[in-house]
């Protein structure tokens, strides 16, 4: 018989995480724990990490569903394709928990050379918003750390009148020192720009030979986004537009009508491994590029995303370098350094948080 419980945990960033939608000073996640009552020492753990301002879920939805799941554990597998579709982060937590239980709680969810330390996942460095001097310093730090792909959050123009000019000047400064063959630049707008201004921004980014821009306008503006994707001088990657589309038909409709150059897939926000694989398969069939990113999970969720990604044969940098932003993250074998995410099999997990 399977028993289960859940834990709510607040993660504390080492610095303010600035985006065009506001600053993140704390991050709440939930852990789902399950065990066989005949082997209570073997515990499977999964993480539900909805993202306020991005997810369609609310904390109350997560708590309610976790209470239901822990009260009745007999049909979790079936529920992955029924009511859990509407709570993607919880669905992913159940996927992780069941898989971890299958592998005796080792957190070694997808056997691959990555788990042996023989394969590293290429990742981008991430520059959060801040004042101009701080962002300039953060860009330099990422380059000095060995990242050859750097992604910068942009879109402060919604708050500061000269925000986009300052941000583009930061990118221009990088380009004056490093060509596109030396440093790949990505930007993430989180839907910051209006339809009247966005084309000018796209042209200026193209002039700086930026690789791509994520979600230039607000999610849900499908006609606007379709026109932008058709006319844009710099490739557009859909991000928030993927969230909340939990059926195959809805995904197909988005891809075939908007026709983006890329999609950015966050497993915690789209519904886990199965949903991520469906997005990848649909994108590939339409010659749309893709990459996978974390959504500020703790090491439990990041590990689940990274191990799955390592099985996909990726060569393009992924967005999996967020584990170091927290002061109180769970110590794990994962390490982001010099443009890659590594798994160190010699390093043990610190799971004291989950001890009763």
Report, as residue numbers or ranges, the catalytic residues: 153, 266
How far apart CA 189 and CA 340 sit, in angstroms, is 24
Distance of CA 105 to the CA centre of its chain: 24
Q: How far is CA 75 from CA 2, 71, 79, 89, 99, in A?
A: 10, 11, 6, 18, 15
The residue among 17, 257, 1 whose CA lies nearest residue 127 is 17
Residues forming beta bridges with residue 35, ordered by sequence position: 3, 43
Per the structure block, which two tokens stand in for 6? 């859940």
H helices of the chain, in order, are 59-71, 76-79, 88-102, 132-144, 163-177, 198-207, 222-231, 248-258, 267-270, 273-285, 299-310
């Amino acid at each position: 018989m399977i028993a289960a419980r859940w834990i709510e945990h607040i993660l504390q960033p080492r610095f303010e995480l600035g985006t065009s939608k506001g600053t993140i000073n704390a991050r709440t996640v939930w852990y789902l724990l399950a065990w066989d009552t005949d082997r209570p020492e073997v515990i499977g753990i999964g993480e539900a990490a909805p993202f306020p301002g991005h997810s369609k879920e609310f904390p109350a939805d997560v708590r309610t569903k976790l209470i239901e799941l822990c009260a009745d554990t007999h049909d979790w597998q079936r529920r992955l394709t029924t009511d859990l579709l509407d709570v993607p982060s919880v669905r992913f937590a159940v996927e992780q928990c069941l898989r971890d239980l299958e592998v005796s709680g080792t957190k070694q969810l997808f056997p691959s050379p990555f788990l042996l330390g023989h394969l590293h996942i290429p990742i981008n460095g991430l520059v959060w918003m801040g004042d101009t001097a701080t962002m300039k310093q953060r860009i330099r730090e990422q380059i000095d750390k060995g990242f050859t792909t750097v992604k910068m959050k942009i879109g402060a123009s919604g708050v500061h009148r000269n925000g986009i000019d300052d941000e583009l000047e930061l990118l221009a400064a990088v380009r004056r020192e490093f060509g596109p063959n030396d440093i790949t630049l990505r930007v993430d707008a989180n839907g910051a720009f209006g339809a009247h201004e966005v084309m000018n921004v796209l042209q200026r980014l193209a002039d700086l030979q930026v690789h791509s821009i994520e979600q230039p306008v607000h999610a849900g503006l499908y006609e606007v986004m379709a026109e932008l994707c058709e006319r844009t001088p710099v490739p557009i990657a859909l991000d928030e537009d993927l969230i909340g589309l939990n059926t195959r038909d809805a995904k197909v409709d988005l891809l075939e009508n908007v026709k983006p150059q890329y999609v950015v897939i966050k497993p915690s926000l789209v519904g886990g491994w199965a949903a991520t694989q469906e997005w990848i398969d649909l994108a590939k069939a339409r010659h749309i590029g893709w990459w996978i990113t974390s959504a500020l999970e703790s090491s439990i969720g990041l590990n689940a995303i990274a191990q799955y990604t390592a099985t996909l044969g990726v060569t393009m940098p992924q967005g999996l370098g967020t584990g170091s932003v927290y002061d109180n993250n769970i110590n794990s074998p994962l390490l982001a350094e010099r443009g890659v995410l590594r798994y160190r099999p010699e390093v043990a997990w610190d799971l004291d948080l989950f001890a009763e």
